[in-house]
Structure 1
Amino acid sequence: MVNHNKPTVAIFGGSFDPPHKGHQQIVEKAAEVLEIEKLLVVPAYLNPFKTSTLADASLRLSWCHTLFDGIKKVEVTAYEINEGKSTATSQSVKHFNQTYHVKYLIVGSDNLATLTQWHEFEWLNEHIIWVIATRENTHLETKMLTNWILLPIDVPISSTQIREKKDLQLIDKKIEKSVKNILEGQHPMTIEERIANIVKLLDEKKAEEIEVFNLDKADYIAKRVVIANSLNGKHTLALFDHLKKEIKLQGDTMIASDATDEWAVADLGDILIHIMIPEYRQRYSLEVFLSELVESQKNRNSDPA
């Protein structure tokens, strides 16, 4: 039995591969017209009807945060992405029903053809109101739906054209460069964006004294080195495991790695990451060596001879 004393919410899920102005219009309009306290945007790790995505999960999540975080009532959630697999919509609805009353489920009109194939469609049909986002004068086959309402929009809602034609007209300027890089097969993030993400991942798991060394102009095996303290040996391995999992989601690969309780090293090719207990960091003084390396390169570059 649903507890209607819980906050009423709508869910808008999808691949968001990439998110575009159609998605933005849906989110903005739904947040405005639906009688809800919150709209949950739920990017999928992998759509159950697809075998792959253009952009990795963490990048699609980042795009959604960039576009939707500033909209009143809207919350972007990583629930399905954190599941690390295809997640049925019914599972997500049941998960969020533990905290909220999920009243509405927002879908594009292009989903109607396959709705009855969704896992536990009958259960969903009984427990939620379908919100169908569609352009005007679109024929809709809704006989199988128990309760539904229309959400009229005037922008195409499919990401397929963007991917196939590399058409950026419907992409917001805030993420246009990143989407363009993906479409052109480049790394989804610059090295500075990757470093910022690594620092964020370490910081959110309580790593201490995080330092980043820029070695672009030094004669060294990597362009950046990140050094961080763990609290203890168990924490070293926990930080390393968290980092390994999350950077894989963003499309990075550890070329090599080695982890013990005292010291963990991750080699991403152009980035080296060291996680150490404080005693080891003090003993080996890596930052002293790296600082001297940077300084010596500066001196060579400034030497008029």
Structure 2
Amino acid sequence: MNIAIYGGSFDPPHIAHFQIIQTILATLHIDKLIVIVAYQNPFKKPCLFSAKERYEWMKQLGKNFPNVEVSDMEIVQKKPIASIQSVLDVKKTFHPEKIFFIIGADNLSSLHKWHRYDELKELVTFVIIEREGYEVQNQDFQKIALPSIKHEISSSQIRKHLSTCLFPDDLPEKIKTEVIQSYYQITKTTQGVPLTPNHIENRIQKIASLLDEKKAQDIETFDLRGRDYIVDYVMIATSLAGKHSYSLLDMLKTELKPLGEVFYSTDEESEDWLIADLGDIMIHIFTENHRKKFNLEEFLTQIQKQKSI
């Protein structure tokens, strides 16, 4: 039996990870590919997403490949595990004739620092995933070229996009919603909102764009941060009619919940005035006559004039 081992933090998994799995299976003559999800990479900062989440996401990506096994052998030990130990565990369990060990070209510079590296290189055949900007000079290594990707993909880049409320295209569709929801749950409970100065502004821009696409009129936003009010921002929009009001609110729920927004409460008793509370943003959807009647904008403008508290 020939086995390939592909390990990583997968924090979170992205489409290049999926492509690597496909390419390994198509390139190497192996009977099994073991994808090992690390509890914690000893050469990297602590993972943002939990080990359980990362393991479950990788299982979803690998479940349609019968000869792929996603392993939690490192996770169950609840501590960083050296690669040599994982290789020895695989040898003990499967007794393979040959083990291919897959690493990215960006790991080559630190490979000699790995625990018991001299022993490890006698046990495995290293296979390098070529990556733009990293030259593989050692001719002893087998190299695998990935299908052309037009831009750099990395888990850290995805986390950066999420932190500014940009929704990455590089997340596999199978897990995209779960990753985004988990990210915003983590940041809201551990760091608060906004995570970065432009985080909430990007959320507001997204909401305004959705309302505009569905023909809402006169969309206004009031910044009430530091004022004596129940939320940081209030958004007001006018619907074309009562049924349109309900349609706009339903659309916001459908589009925003998968992106991690939580609708803590809604007031839907009157089609003339619907309210959605997102915690730090409150959205009011009026029919035209009701908006003129209550003139909420004047009230909010007065609050904006208050001194910050």
CA contact (8 A) 1:112 1:142 kept: no
Counterpart AA for 1:100:
H
CA contact (8 A) 1:47 1:86 kept: yes
Structure 1 equivalent of residue 99 of structure 2: 103
More displaced, 71-80 or 13-22? Answer: 71-80
Structure 2 equivalent of residue 24 of structure 1: 18
- The match for 2:126 among 125, 130, 133 is 130
Deviating above 3 A after TM superposition, structure 1's stretches of 4 or more consecutive aligned residues are 185-188
Counterpart AA for 2:29:
E
Counterpart AA for 2:173:
K
Question: Over the residues paired in the alignment, what is the CA RMSD in angstroms?
Answer: 2.1
Q: How far does residue 142 in structure 1 lie from its aligned partner after superposition?
A: 3.7
Structure 2 equivalent of residue 140 of structure 1: 135
Distance 1:125 1:151 in 2: 21
CA contact (8 A) 1:9 1:100 kept: no
The C-alpha deviation readout for 1:234-265, integer Å capped at 9, x for no partner, is xxxxxxxxxxxxxxxxxxxxxxxxxxxxxxxx
Larger gyration radius, structure 1 or structure 2: 2
CA gap of 1:153–1:83, structure 2 versus 1, over 3 A, is farther
CA contact (8 A) 1:8 1:37 kept: yes
Give identity over the alignment, percent: 34
TM-score normalised over the length of structure 2: 0.54
The DSSP-based 3-state class of the residue aligned with 2:64 is: coil
Distance 1:90 1:146 in 2: 19
- The match for 1:70 among 42, 64, 72 is 64
In structure 1, stretches of 5+ residues that fail to align are: 1-6, 189-305
Distance 1:87 1:132 in 2: 21
CA gap of 1:21–1:36, structure 2 versus 1, over 3 A, is same
The DSSP-based 3-state class of the residue aligned with 1:9 is: strand
The DSSP-based 3-state class of the residue aligned with 2:74 is: helix
Distance 1:61 1:103 in 2: 22
The DSSP-based 3-state class of the residue aligned with 1:87 is: coil
- The match for 1:14 among 8, 12, 31 is 8
Distance 2:27 2:144 in 1: 11
Structure 1 equivalent of residue 196 of structure 2: none
In structure 2, stretches of 5+ residues that fail to align are: 189-309
Q: How far does residue 133 in structure 1 lie from its aligned partner after superposition?
A: 1.1
- For these two proteins, the number of residue pairs brought into alignment is 180
The DSSP-based 3-state class of the residue aligned with 1:154 is: coil
CA gap of 1:17–1:73, structure 2 versus 1, over 3 A, is same
CA contact (8 A) 2:130 2:143 kept: no
CA gap of 1:14–1:152, structure 2 versus 1, over 3 A, is same
Q: How far does residue 157 in structure 1 lie from its aligned partner after superposition?
A: 4.9
